[in-house]
Structure 1
Amino acid sequence: MAKPGRNAGSAPSGAVAGSRMSQERRTYAALDLGTNNCRLLVARPNGDGFRVVDAFSRIVRLGEGLGGSRRLKEAAIARTIDALQVCRTKMEARGVTRARLIATEACRAAENGAEFIQRVREEALLDLEVVDRETEAHLAVAGCAALADPHAEGAILFDIGGGSSELAWLTGAARDRRSLRQRVRAWTSLPVGVVTLAERHGGVHVDREGFEGMVAEVLGLISEFAQEVGSARRCQRFHLLGTSGTVTTIAGVHLGLKRYDRRQVDGVWMQDGDVTDVMERLLGMSFDERAANPCIGNERADLVLAGCAILEAIRRTFPAGRLRIADRGLREGILMQLMDEDGVWAPGRRPNA
């Protein structure tokens, strides 16, 4: 397999370039390698949107211990390369013609990040693009903005990651995706995520004092952005729009799901009081109780309260009556950008995102 790389210029061996193919034959892939997760989506254009034909998600904890050593650990590298090899196999099987494969905070921050990228190239035969924080923020916006209330004058969109958290202030109710970048009035990337915060403060046994300590750390990091976009909170019908395992977990617990179901979670609205109730329930649970919850599981039980602390800092900084949950993000943003560049949608029929 050839190596899908920067700006998705490459495609599997023998594929015809996307611009010379019929829409039906084009197959796109978007891979997001974060500090905690490795996620892949494979999709084909469908009408005025796209249809997902394959997906993969695995918790790899690439950034495990990164905050202390500043280096990616060998065990984490091995786990991640194994997951990436699965992704490569899926892309080959689906005949991917264009792809973009991105890596985020763990690879940005690690002293041996470049060495890891080279190993991925040699062992998984994939070229990862390490994107900067601005690119990451705008991809999250591209993937999630369709869920913003079309009648709201403003919203704070946030993506709580494993090693960083991105926030953007969206204004207006523009429906044309070509003007989406103009709707981002301000953005920031906080150098903290669920993995880094949990490693510093502890994630297994978290009491009220420890939780508030995490919230205080994030409040300090978010204060400059809060001053920059202070007027956002005075927008008509202002709301929060969140994407991440943290907010989808909160929504799943709120809905009482016996098994996580994206179809019930993506796009759901939660009132502010409901968010508070769920976070209080999670804070009152033991580690074993969190691990037993079908919307959390053992792999995320030590991270969910760190995510709640980041969310709580956002809520205190930008009080809002409503939070909309997005089970979508960087990968969807990548797919829409690639398909838009290839002109797969007729003018005026582009996805509203």
Structure 2
Amino acid sequence: MSPDQAQAQGRLHDTDPVGIIDIGSNSVRLVVYERLTRSPTVLFNEKVLAGLGRGVGVTNRLADDSVERALAALRRFRFLATQAGAETLYVLATAAAREAENGPDFIREVQKITGAKVEVLSGRDEAERSAYGIISGIWRANGIAGDLGGGSLELVDVRGEEIGDGRTYPLGGLRLQDAAEDSVRKAEKIAADALDGCSLLDGGAGRAFYAIGGTWRSLARLYMFETGYPLKVMHHFAIPAGEALDFCRKVAREDLAGFEHIDVISRSRRALLPYGAAVMEQIIRRAQPTEVVMSALGVREGHLYKLLSKKERARDPLIAASEELAILRSRSPRHAGELADWTGRLFEVLEVEESADERRLRTAACLLADIGWRAHPDYRGEQSLNIIAHAAFIGIDHPGRAYLALANFYRHVGLIEEELSPWIRKLATTRLMERARILGSAFRVAYLISAAMPGVMPKTTVRRRNGELVLELPKDIADLDGERLRKRFSQLGRLMELSADVEIA
């Protein structure tokens, strides 16, 4: 590790960075991750749209200009990976390099440039890594995952940690465009015929469809802007299946210039949008899922997940990421853990019902409760809300993000609804809003007792007595009692329609 890295206090350095070069049929990408962990954080990310798969279905060869573009990008990526400290570098290649007759020559050049062995993934390998990507990024996933690249479509069934059989179809955007001779109508027919006998899709009814790949992310991004969706975070963005079907049909059959927000999609991506929409439309028709859920994690993250130990895989990715943020930004990570225990006991006393997922959300909220302390006091609530809502978390859906952000907002601002941005109200359910208010109010009490330092909260007790909420302080911390603490504890009591008192044990 270089001296500069050792001095970067905003980094975690228990292991070295790891890099992955992903050579796809449309793009070539380098991603350097901070370390190999359950919730990987990206240090550097760059892609080049080399178009290696263009024409392969017709000529069976990688085009010379595409090869040159890809190799030039790889020379740059090799240098950047070294610069970022990624001594471990994995190189993955997919459909185009696998199927073209000059693919082996290309792979040899790649290995010379990168100095790393290239793993050429089979269709089954791609489906498996995509499934691992979903397991890594979607907590308790249950549905069919589809990874649409430039050359192929991989489908695989995912139920929790279990991966079913995978299927590969030649329906990648570039290949489909070539096969359909630039006709989206023909592409629809090709996709429909290819997927008609897919028994794997028979198991999709009533479950989610997890969409992976740059073309489908661009499609979802356009939908976000066209519908005015308030949170521009792609991972775990969910679209009801019926709405997704209608939107895909519109993108496939109408002039893209007629979309008001088409400029949010890069020009290099637009040509493949109708083909990605055509494939998605046929999948929804065939599988009948409840919703389409976008995944920002795919083959690369699935590869990392496969490298983890069994113990590390079993960790909750949301809690892992929240713990890391607590280490990097809070005044005391140990206090954050004590806060999770204290609020758990408090919710039991208050008889606040929590599902298993709501308990993990509350734990994450406690770990994140103090990350905004360096901000100006007048803006801590707003800044913390935005950091949490837009953080690169995995293992959490958008309503869950809203809950975490709201609890922190209420902690700093108080239970003042007028100051709350209307966009977040659209994301959080009424149930989560209520629990965020209770948790935020509990935070306001806890930090007056602890001053954000560990060792004090476990000494206190909260109990109910004849319709009254009682906060009990032992004699050795009796001096913490005061008017401000009593006022905030009374606010918590009123929220639960209880009187409240502070007593010295």
User: What is the TM-score of this pair, normalised by structure 2?
Assistant: 0.55
Return the alpha-carbon distance in structure 2 between the equivalents of residues 42 and 91 of structure 1. 7
Q: 1:348 to 1:170 in 2, by over 3 A?
A: closer
Whether the 8 Å contact between 2:249 and 2:278 is mirrored in structure 1 is: no
Q: Which deviates further from its counterpart, 46-55 or 307-316?
A: 46-55
1:222 aligns with 2:191: no
Q: CA deviation at 1:122?
A: 3.3
1:198 corresponds to: 177
Return the alpha-carbon distance in structure 2 between the equivalents of residues 317 and 189 of structure 1. 16
* Equivalent position to 2:156, from 165, 168, 174: 168
2:347 corresponds to: none
1:80 aligns with 2:46: no
* Equivalent position to 1:282, from 227, 251, 254: 251
Q: 1:46 to 1:38 in 2, by over 3 A?
A: closer
Q: CA deviation at 1:291?
A: 12
Q: 1:291 to 1:201 in 2, by over 3 A?
A: farther
Whether the 8 Å contact between 1:257 and 1:295 is mirrored in structure 2 is: no
Return the alpha-carbon distance in structure 2 between the equivalents of residues 112 and 274 of structure 1. 42
Whether the 8 Å contact between 2:90 and 2:116 is mirrored in structure 1 is: no
Q: CA deviation at 1:125?
A: 4.4
1:248 corresponds to: 217
* Equivalent position to 2:103, from 107, 113, 123: 113
1:316 aligns with 2:285: yes
1:301 corresponds to: 270
1:95 corresponds to: 85
Can you list the C-alpha shifts for 1:62-107, whole angstroms capped at 9, x where unaligned?
Answer: 1121111111111010010011112111111011132221100001
Q: 1:54 to 1:233 in 2, by over 3 A?
A: closer
After superposition, where does 1:60-75 map in structure 2 within 5 Å? 60-75=50-65
Whether the 8 Å contact between 1:26 and 1:45 is mirrored in structure 2 is: yes
3-state SS of 1:300 partner:
helix
Return the alpha-carbon distance in structure 2 between the equivalents of residues 266 and 187 of structure 1. 23
1:155 aligns with 2:143: yes
Count of residues paired in the alignment: 306
3-state SS of 2:270 partner:
coil
CA RMSD of aligned residues (A): 2.9
Q: 1:25 to 1:63 in 2, by over 3 A?
A: same
Q: CA deviation at 1:159?
A: 0.6
Return the alpha-carbon distance in structure 1 between the equivalents of residues 91 and 254 of structure 2. 37
3-state SS of 1:264 partner:
coil
Q: 1:46 to 1:159 in 2, by over 3 A?
A: closer
1:333 corresponds to: 302
Whether the 8 Å contact between 1:30 and 1:41 is mirrored in structure 2 is: yes
Amino acid at match of 1:169: D
3-state SS of 2:20 partner:
strand
3-state SS of 1:56 partner:
strand
Structure with the bigger percentage of helix: 2
Amino acid at match of 2:121: V
1:271 aligns with 2:240: yes
Q: CA deviation at 1:48?
A: 4.6
1:58 aligns with 2:48: yes
Q: CA deviation at 1:252?
A: 0.9
Return the alpha-carbon distance in structure 1 between the equivalents of residues 195 and 31 of structure 2. 31
Whether the 8 Å contact between 1:170 and 1:185 is mirrored in structure 2 is: yes
Amino acid at match of 1:159: D
Q: Structure 2: state its 5+ residue gaps.
A: 1-11, 319-394, 396-505
1:16 corresponds to: none
Q: CA deviation at 1:333?
A: 1.2
Return the alpha-carbon distance in structure 1 between the equivalents of residues 313 and 166 of structure 2. 29
Q: 1:316 to 1:125 in 2, by over 3 A?
A: same
Return the alpha-carbon distance in structure 2 between the equivalents of residues 160 and 41 of structure 1. 19
Q: Structure 1: state its 5+ residue gaps.
A: 1-21, 175-179
Return the alpha-carbon distance in structure 1 between the equivalents of residues 260 and 232 of structure 2. 22
Q: Larger Cα Rg: Structure 1 or Structure 2?
A: 2
Whether the 8 Å contact between 2:15 and 2:36 is mirrored in structure 1 is: no
Can you list the C-alpha shifts for 1:268-288, whole angstroms capped at 9, x where unaligned?
Answer: 110123213422442354365
Whether the 8 Å contact between 1:186 and 1:229 is mirrored in structure 2 is: no
Q: CA deviation at 1:318?
A: 0.1
Can you list the C-alpha shifts for 1:209-241, whole angstroms capped at 9, x where unaligned?
Answer: x42x32221222223432x563x145xx41211
Whether the 8 Å contact between 1:148 and 1:241 is mirrored in structure 2 is: no
Return the alpha-carbon distance in structure 1 between the equivalents of residues 278 and 66 of structure 2. 25
2:331 corresponds to: none
3-state SS of 2:62 partner:
coil
Return the alpha-carbon distance in structure 2 between the equivalents of residues 347 and 185 of structure 1. 18
Whether the 8 Å contact between 2:22 and 2:28 is mirrored in structure 1 is: yes
Return the alpha-carbon distance in structure 2 between the equivalents of residues 73 and 165 of structure 1. 21
